[in-house]
């Protein structure tokens, strides 16, 4: 399986400004969050990216994705409009023509994915790079997950599953729920070996088969249900191989309170300026203590 396309969804009413926010990236350049995401995908070998945007945002997003001049990673970009605000599942379905019959990388536009450790070079590491390599090796759909406290279950889809023999960071998926309550998660999303009060929640990054569009059609046409990507993913269980994996990285939700601050700190503390940033934080804390 070869993965060469990616889809970034960024059209949600509460989401569309977040990818346009500027941050200092790991190599010290001031760029939009969207540019960081584009380079994340490009570092995984992706050559074509579709960004699903609000119909009024194409120009702003094209400028943000272009980033600063210089030898930056530059895959081919397509901007796909979501003409109606019908939610995340519908946004992803808008990329059907772009994807065609190929498996594809997908992640959400309001998250950044920060790999652990300091890269030796710009293309070292990367959550997308790790996920794509695992998906190509396994030859199947693969969703990244992260151990998450039960108090945050209302923000994410979550899975129950069983660890693959001999694989520390991969699980077969037996159940999936969208934003479960702690009671629902305790009853239905068991994962052997998980710390008490923690569950495997979606990371915001997947490698998906083209068949997901048929499942999206099904959930979007069900007037009795609330359509979601999680509901479409649940339809993969028992129909084709679908695994979850942990990555040597962490997600940062830009839409949370202090999300942009958390993203900036995460980038800074895993880049070559780590010691300088730690010194700045220490100085600020010391000044605050002296001012009391």
**Other Cβ atoms closer than 10 A to 75:** 18
Walking along the chain (292 residues) 10 residues at a time, the average pLDDT comes out as 94 88 91 93 94 92 75 75 89 96 95 72 69 95 95 93 90 94 94 91 95 95 80 94 93 92 92 88 84 68
* CA-based nearest residue to 98, from 175, 8, 17: 8
pLDDT, position 106: 97
How far apart, in whole angstroms, are the C-alpha atoms of residue 273 and residue 261?
16
Residue 20 has which token pair? 């346009």
Which of 31, 97, 89 shows the shortest CA–CA distance to 65? Answer: 31
Provide the pLDDT for residue 223: 66
pLDDT computed for residue 123 by the predictor: 42
SS3 state at 36 = helix
Dihedral in degrees, nearest 10, Cα atoms 249, 69, 10, 156: 10
Domains of the chain: which residue ranges? 5-137+204-290
Residue 53, pLDDT score: 94
Under CATH, to which class is 5-137+204-290 assigned? Answer: alpha beta
């Amino acid at each position: 399986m070869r993965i060469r396309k990616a889809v970034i969804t960024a059209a949600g009413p509460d989401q569309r400004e977040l990818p346009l926010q500027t941050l200092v990236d790991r190599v010290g350049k001031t760029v939009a969050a969207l540019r960081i995401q584009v380079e994340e995908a490009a570092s995984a070998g992706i050559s074509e990216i579709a960004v699903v945007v609000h119909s009024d945002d194409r120009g702003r997003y094209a400028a943000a994705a272009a980033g600063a001049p210089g030898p930056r990673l530059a895959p081919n970009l397509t901007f796909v409009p979501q003409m109606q605000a019908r939610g995340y599942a519908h946004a992803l379905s808008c990329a059907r023509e772009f994807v065609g019959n190929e498996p594809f990388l997908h992640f959400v536009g309001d998250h950044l994915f920060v790999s652990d450790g300091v890269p030796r070079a710009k293309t070292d590491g990367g959550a997308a790079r790790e996920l794509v390599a695992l998906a190509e090796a396994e030859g199947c759909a693969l969703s990244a997950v992260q151990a998450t406290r039960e108090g945050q279950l209302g923000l994410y889809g979550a899975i129950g599953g069983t660890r693959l023999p001999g694989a520390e960071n991969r699980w077969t998926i037996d159940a999936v729920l969208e934003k479960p309550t702690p009671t629902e998660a305790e009853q239905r999303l068991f994962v052997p070996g998980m710390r008490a009060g923690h569950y495997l929640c979606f990371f915001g990054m997947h490698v998906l088969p083209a068949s997901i569009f048929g499942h999206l059609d099904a959930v979007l046409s069900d007037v009795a249900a609330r359509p979601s990507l999680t509901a479409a993913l649940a339809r993969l269980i028992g129909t084709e191989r679908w695994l979850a994996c942990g990555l040597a990285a962490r997600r940062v939700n830009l839409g949370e309170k202090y999300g942009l601050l958390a993203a900036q700190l995460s980038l800074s503390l895993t880049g070559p300026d780590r010691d300088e940033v730690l010194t700045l934080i220490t100085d600020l804390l010391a000044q605050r203590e002296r001012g009391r």
